[in-house]
Structure 1
Amino acid sequence: MLSTSPVAAPRGANPARRHCLRLLLLLLWCGAAPRAHALQGLTGVHDPSTIVKQGNTYWVFATGQGIYSLYSTDLVNWTPGPRAVFVNNAYPGWINTKVPGFAGNFWAPECVFQNGKYYLYYSCSTFGSKVSAIGLATNVTLDPASPSYNWVDEGEVISTNANSPVNAIDPAVYRDASNNLWMTYGSYFGGIRTVQLDAATGKPLAGATQNAVANGDVEAAYVARRGAFYYLFINRGTCCQGISSTYRILVGRSASPAGPFLDQNGVDLNANGGTLLLSGAGRYRGPGHTGIFEENGATYFSHHYYDSYDNGAPKLGLAQLTWSAAGWPVVSRDWLGPASGTGAAGRFTIAAGPAASNLVWQSQGCTGAAGQAIVQATPAAGTCQQWDFTALGNGDYKITSALGGLAAGTANCSDANFALLQLGTYTGQDCQQFHLDRASDGSLVLAALSSNRVVEVPFASTAPGAQLGIFDYNGCACQHWFVTPVGTTTATAGSARLAGVSLYPVPAERGAFTVDLGPLPNAEATTVTVTDLLGKVVYCRRYGPQQRQLAVAAGLAPGIYQVRVQRGAASLTQKQTVQ
């Protein structure tokens, strides 16, 4: 089984971490059967890169032999890539001249799209050493099935030796307000550096200044720009020790891409500063390695964590990133609950996902009695179609009927496929608790904590009265739900929402991107409208009904835009970032 393991060797400065890798592998494959995952599929990963999207597929690269990858089509179910970047350890020969003893276990890659290609940065090192190098490979596609798929070695980006003041690992790339390209890198050995890159080559500009921006027990730096500030995310603490890991994510900000970066108390990250953003809690231990991806009205905060429900195995986590009134990032796993933690999230209706039935959850018979089945029904006014969500922390929720206050759960607390949902007195059992994950189309997937199975309409029935149950996740629209606050007029279902539409690449380069209509029928023309954040229309075009991939060549300046795709009465609106 180890040959197919998604677990990758952790990086770091401590030689003892080699032992930790063996321990993590042992725990993952020899431990008890895992409980419910925060995401579905084989999510084992360490040091995930920022999510990058090509077509309808999302990719993450990670630490591992030959560079490991995961992909998803909905941001919920993740599958290991079919092959490593460097197959059969056939990595570039220059690496061993810079890093003697390197054996193909690449650390902490990062992938960005620019100049019409995907630029994959990676780290080469050995445990407890500053003899390290960051390399670069490019590819015109991330699809291994494409005849154009080919990783091209672009050579060394930067390297260090035993006498260097810094360690060349953990690359991350960002752009400043003038669209200049920058890179952060570094570790415990000498802290974190930033350096401007040549946008054409992806390598440091000749004579560029190396800026020291964070020190101490620091790794895994990442910079994101928002408004007038650049935000530097870092890790402090120890990784790679399973549930004993003390990794935590902190942040500081600067008006300059080169720093200095100060925390909320005004302390420089170069003086051991940093405002705590995300630390271990519940099943999520030792979170690390920030990535930020924006799409469809949401900002996803990617990272790895060690799962205490699964013997400390490292896994991919996707949380929600929002911003405080003072302009500081806030990370929460509660997609409905308050960002500050537990508490009542509110009262909602729950409608079937796109291309399903547009029916809503209802307590059958509308009496709110114990044992009453939870079914799908035609939308109508009444509290038996309203549900109170209470956040329990870390993305877990209790769901109770607004009529009578009894909790949703599986009959007889079963965790089997086809177990049916009904109302009962809340006892705190995990068959009455659900973890919510947000899919790429804005719908939610509700996984019962007693299993890794999700709430669905059995057999994708569109008949009113069908009782809901749980089943293994398979991506069916019948397993996706739109949860809408009571009293709003937001469209919640397939008749008003375009399903299967995708924008790529994200972010767009030089204002050009594609709208892929996916499985939509050819019956209607499509209108694409792009507006800036002030609501000004900067692009509008009508496309014929036979066109499936709509090229948007808007020539937009760098920034954030709203893209609206309209077909008849149905539409999709989402943000698009242009660099």
Structure 2
Amino acid sequence: MKAHRRTRWLTLPAALLLALLPTGASAYPNPGLVTGDTVVHDPSMIRATDGTYLLYSTHGGLEARTSTDRIAFTRSGSAFTTPPSWWKTYSADNYPWAPDISYQGGRYLMYYAVSSFGSSNSAIGVAGSSSGRAGTWTDYGIVHSTTGSSGYNAIDPNLFVDSDGKWWLSFGSWWSGLKMIRLDPSTGKQYAGDRTVYSIASRPTGTKAIEGPAVVKRNGYYYLFASYDTCCAGVGSTYKIKVGRATSPTGPYYDKNGVNMLDNGGSPVLESHGRYIGPGGQSVMSDVDGDLLVYHYYDGQDNGTPKLGVNLLSWTGGWPTAY
């Protein structure tokens, strides 16, 4: 019965739902109902060609979950059963982070990062699969890497494919902020004709805490979502999701107030409220009923356990609103 009520609620017109919400900080919505194995970090989800939802997240060999209704999730293993040999160079524990799954040209692709916490000795890898299921992924190696002297961090990748066919990979955290590189669609790796590392968001004053980019294009604008402040501290987490928009994938991105995201800009999309602490590690997924914001939060009523959050997004007024 609860699932049925949620389904009906999610199919109401976005304008009506937004009109029913309160204003101010209390307007942040609770996550939609999800059940089953929902303890996740940095979730990325896609609806497979057979209609099954595939969700991957940080931990192990990149944990896999499936769902037939976007509500009940079941663990199905991990993307990798054997760690690729190059992981050890960047993580003594063979620990991959922040997968990003998509479907391109008849195959599933997954970008992901390998690093140790707090280090910029990091690398982004890419893998492919014909089914997208756990244990079926073939690793294609390193896409981009950083060292302790790079000034930025090769983690938290997100693939964006533009309407002109160009591929872009956003990534990064802390230090000098979020970056973007152009990819070659034939290889999934950096495009030889453009080796520029573009800067797209940073916090030059105060904390450097910005990470987890996700780029989408809607209504002629490119939107950059990012996670700000402190992750991974349970109920002490201060993560929040902010957004800016641009007329080019490489920016500049500005928030609602016209502040450049390279200069501490970013308009709030989702912040802590009630038991739902530190939402972040987000991705944006297009589904049959609209765009979804997929993220983790820390449950203040369950000792700060990280859990899956899913909300629909409205684009009324030219900016994303979670509901």
**TM-score bin, normalised by smaller chain:** 0.7 to 0.9
Q: Secondary structure at 2:88's aligned position in 1?
A: helix
Three-state SS of the structure 1 residue aligned to 2:172 is strand
Pick the aligned partner of 1:258 from 245, 250, 254. Answer: 250
Local SS of the residue matching 1:96? helix
Of 120, 141, 157 in structure 2, the residue corresponding to residue 155 of structure 1 is 141
Scaled by the length of structure 1, the TM-score of the pair is 0.48
Match of 1:319 in 2: 311
Partner of residue 42, structure 1: 37
Residue 196 of structure 2 is matched in structure 1 by 209
Alignment equivalent of 1:93, drawn from 59, 64, 85: 85
1:331 aligns with 2:322: yes
Instruction: Indicate which of 130, 137, 142 corresponds to 1:140.
Output: 130
Paired letter, 1:304: H
Instruction: Provide the aligned C-alpha RMSD in A.
Output: 1.6
**Within 5 Å, which residues of 2 pair with 1:317-466?**
317-325=309-317, 327-332=318-323
Deviation at 1:255, TM superposition (A): 0.2
State the SS of the aligned residue for 1:262.
coil
When residues 52 and 132 of structure 1 are mapped into structure 2, their CA distance, relative to the original with a 3 A threshold, is farther
- CA separation of 1:91 and 1:158: change in aligned 2, threshold 3 A: same
Distance 1:69 1:200 in 2: 26
| Residue 178 (structure 2) pairs with residue 192 (structure 1) | yes
Partners of 2:310 and 2:43 in 1: CA distance: 11
- Contact 2:87–2:94 (8 Å) recurs in 1: no
1:174 is matched with which residue? 160
CA contact (8 A) 1:170 1:186 kept: yes
Q: Distance in 1 between matches of 2:78 and 2:271?
A: 31
2:114 is the alignment partner of 1:124: yes
Note the alpha carbon deviations across 1:509-568, whole angstroms, 9 max, x for none.
xxxxxxxxxxxxxxxxxxxxxxxxxxxxxxxxxxxxxxxxxxxxxxxxxxxxxxxxxxxx
**Match in the other structure for 1:55:** 50
User: How far is the alpha carbon of 1:60 from its aligned partner?
Assistant: 1.1
Measure the CA separation in 1 of the matches of 2:114 and 2:176.
17
Cα 1:40–1:103 change in 2 (3 A) is: same
Contact 2:79/2:136, CA 8 A, preserved across alignment:
no
Corresponding residue of 2:68: 73
Does residue 270 of the first structure (1) align with residue 262 of the second (2)?
Answer: yes
Cα distance in 1, alignment partners of residues 234 and 262 from structure 2: 28
Letter of the structure 2 residue corresponding to residue 243 of structure 1 = V
CA distance in 2, matches of 1:304, 1:223: 18
The Cα offsets for residues 376-398 of structure 1, whole Å up to 9 and x where unpaired, read as: xxxxxxxxxxxxxxxxxxxxxxx
Write out per-residue CA displacement over residues 117-169 of structure 1, whole angstroms, 9 at most, x where no aligned residue.
1111111001221100001111111245xxxx732120110000111121100
* Structure 2 residue matching 1:95: 3-state secondary structure: helix
CA distance in 2, matches of 1:260, 1:202: 24
Shift of 1:202: 0.9
User: In 1, Cα distance between the equivalents of 2:49 and 2:309?
Assistant: 20
Equivalent-residue separation in structure 2 for 1:192 and 1:51 (angstroms): 24
Aligned to 1:64, the other structure's residue is in SS state coil
Letter of the structure 2 residue corresponding to residue 69 of structure 1: A
Correspondence for 1:222: 214
Q: How does 1:280-295 map to 2 (within 5 A)?
A: 280-295=272-287
Give, in angstroms, the shift of residue 179 of structure 1.
Answer: 2.2
Distance 1:67 1:124 in 2: 11
Which AA in structure 1 matches 2:322?
A: V
CA distance in 1, matches of 2:94, 2:33: 30
Query: Are residues 1:112 and 2:102 paired?
Result: yes
1: distance between equivalents of 2:49 and 2:175?
A: 35
CA deviations 1:451-489 (Å, max 9, x no partner) are: xxxxxxxxxxxxxxxxxxxxxxxxxxxxxxxxxxxxxxx
Residues 291-321 of structure 1, C-alpha deviations (whole Å, 9 max, x = no match): 2222233322111111122221101111120
Deviations 1:181-214 (A, max 9, x none): 1110000122100111101111110133211011
Question: For the Cα contact (< 8 Å) 1:191–1:214, is it kept in 2?
Answer: yes
Q: Determine the C-alpha separation between the residues in 1 that align with 2:133 and 2:137.
A: 11
Q: Deviations over 1:419-471 (max 9, x none)?
A: xxxxxxxxxxxxxxxxxxxxxxxxxxxxxxxxxxxxxxxxxxxxxxxxxxxxx
8 Å CA contact 1:52–1:112 kept in 2: the answer is no
- Hey, what's the Cα distance between the residues in 2 that align with 1:56 and 1:175? 22
Whole-angstrom distance in 2 between the partners of 1:47 and 1:242: 14
Q: Give the C-alpha shift of residue 290 in structure 1.
A: 2.0
Q: 1:84 aligns with which of 40, 55, 78?
A: 78
Name the counterpart of 1:528: none
Q: Runs in 1 of length 4+ with deviation above 4 angstroms?
A: none
Check whether the contact 1:130–1:166 (CA below 8 A) recurs between aligned residues: yes
Once the two structures are TM-superposed, the CA of residue 37 in structure 1 deviates from its matched residue by 8.9
CA distance in 2, matches of 1:37, 1:269: 29
Distance 1:258 1:107, change over 3 A: same
| 1:292 partner SS | strand
TM-score w.r.t. the length of structure 2 is 0.85
Do 2:214 and 2:282's aligned partners in 1 also have CA atoms closer than 8 Å? Answer: yes
Q: Find the aligned partners of 1:80 and 1:37 in 2 and give their Cα distance.
A: 19
Task: Give the aligned residue type for 1:329.
Answer: P
Deviations 1:213-238 (A, max 9, x none): 11121011100100210000011110
What is the distance in 2 between the residues matched to 1:209 and 1:37?
39
Using the TM superposition, give the Cα deviation of residue 176 of structure 1 relative to its aligned residue in structure 2, in angstroms. 1.8
Give the partner amino acid of 1:150. Answer: T
Amino acid at match of 1:237: D
One-letter amino acid of the structure 2 residue matched with residue 154 of structure 1 = Y
Rg comparison, structure with higher value: 1
Whole-angstrom distance in 2 between the partners of 1:171 and 1:235 = 13
Native 8 Å contact 1:51 1:291 kept in 2: no
Partners of 2:185 and 2:47 in 1: how far apart? 18
